[in-house]
């Protein structure tokens, strides 16, 4: 009994010290901006967002007439699709997992390998790719131009620009820039409510920025450094190096994803091979899956995380989930 009291006391002291330590740190870098940035040639407006939302959900822009942007980036599935690999027109399976588009407005690189530098550029990929929408860009423009209601919307949204593939992807990008994570328990914690997350989540945050070194890759309000890491998963996809990047560090390296709403977007990693957050934490925190055979980035090292450590970090990650965006998918489209 006496030993139990001593252990309990030690745990309480540890929790107090952790909370005190976290409180003394500068928490401002974790605060989400109120608005997302937009490029000078595509400023976010209500008309552009409304137009882009319709195009985002419009399956008529695919060869089968059954696949839209929302097929792989579903608001009900963490803006991913819940599958290991993306599935496009006619059931064609893609080579990689569908990454969430949540908070993509804050990212400098798009796609797992970072081959696109803007949302507008990114839109062009899935439209043309054989295993996704499999369309010719000219055909997409013809479809949109054939709908009088769409033509009117484009004139209002982009009054000084022609209706072409550039304005089509601009509109979709304008909508995607509004796909922003909502306030989470962690945000309340950062704002000063220290009871907003559990004691285990608080300890998990301490581990996240301390022993586990998660913050080495998942830093700032969007919980990503915007760079690329190899976590030694063990597949044949060489990632960023496929873009003919010469740096050896880019071999099997993929973009560091945001951790906002991360519990909603399983399975994880570019190959969709990990089903749970616990397993993802264990792989990243304890040196990768197959480090000796496939190597890892310098940031991926064995931190000797215990089962308890992994559980607490997982609880912290869950505290990054806020309510879903109040978006209702359209069922009627312009004609």
Q: What is the mean pLDDT of the chain?
A: 93
Taking only the tens place, the pLDDT of each residue in 121-163 is 999 999 999 999 999 999 999 999 999 999 999 999 999 999 9
Q: What is the DSSP letter of 40?
A: G
Q: Give the pLDDT mean for 221-237.
A: 95
Q: Which of 120, 123, 132, 315 is catalytic?
A: 132
Q: Give the pLDDT mean for 198-220.
A: 98
Position 86 confidence tier, pLDDT thresholds 50, 70, 90 = very high
Position 307 confidence tier, pLDDT thresholds 50, 70, 90 = very high
Question: Is 176:107 a contact under the CB 8 Å cutoff?
Answer: no
Position 294 confidence tier, pLDDT thresholds 50, 70, 90 = confident
Q: Give the pLDDT mean for 192-218.
A: 98
Taking only the tens place, the pLDDT of each residue in 102-117 is 999 999 999 999 999 9
The closest alpha carbon to 119, from 68, 77, 171, 73, belongs to: 171
- The domains found in the chain, sorted by start residue, are 40-176 (1.10.760.10), 185-318 (1.10.760.10)
Q: Give the pLDDT mean for 298-315.
A: 97
Q: Is 121 a catalytic residue?
A: no
At 87, phi and psi to the nearest 5? -120, 120
The pLDDT assigned to 34 comes to 86
């Amino acid at each position: 009994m006496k030993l139990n009291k001593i252990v309990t006391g030690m745990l309480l002291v540890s929790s107090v010290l952790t909370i005190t330590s976290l409180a003394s740190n500068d928490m401002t870098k974790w605060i989400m901006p109120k608005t997302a940035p937009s490029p000078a040639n595509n400023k976010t407006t209500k008309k552009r967002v409304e137009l882009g939302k319709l195009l985002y959900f419009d399956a008529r822009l695919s060869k089968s007439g059954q696949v839209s942007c929302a097929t792989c980036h579903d608001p009900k599935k963490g803006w991913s699709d819940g599958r290991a690999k993306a599935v496009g027109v006619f059931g064609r399976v893609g080579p990689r997992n569908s990454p969430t588009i949540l908070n993509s407005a804050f990212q400098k690189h798009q796609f797992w390998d970072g081959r696109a530098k803007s949302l507008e550029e990114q839109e062009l990929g899935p439209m043309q790719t054989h295993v996704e929408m499999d369309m010719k860009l000219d055909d997409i423009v013809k479809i949109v131009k054939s709908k009088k209601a769409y033509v009117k919307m484009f004139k209002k949204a982009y009054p000084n620009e022609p209706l072409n593939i550039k304005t089509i992807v601009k509109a979709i990008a304008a909508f995607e820039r509004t796909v922003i994570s909502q306030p989470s328990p962690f945000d309340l914690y950062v704002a000063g409510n220290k009871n907003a997350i559990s004691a285990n989540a608080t300890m998990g945050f301490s581990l996240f920025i301390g022993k586990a070194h998660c913050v080495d890759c998942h830093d700032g309000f969007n919980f990503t450094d915007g760079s690329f890491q190899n976590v030694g998963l063990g597949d044949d996809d060489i990632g960023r190096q496929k873009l003919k990047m010469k740096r050896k560090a880019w071999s099997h390296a993929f973009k560091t994803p945001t951790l906002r709403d991360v519990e909603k977007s399983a399975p994880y990693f570019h190959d969709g091979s990990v089903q749970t957050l616990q397993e993802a934490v264990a792989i990243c925190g304890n040196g990768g899956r197959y480090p000796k055979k496939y190597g890892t980035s310098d940031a991926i090292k064995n931190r000797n995380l215990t089962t308890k450590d992994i559980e607490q970090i997982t609880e912290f990650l869950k505290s990054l989930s806020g309510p879903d965006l109040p978006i209702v998918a359209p069922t009627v489209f312009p004609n």
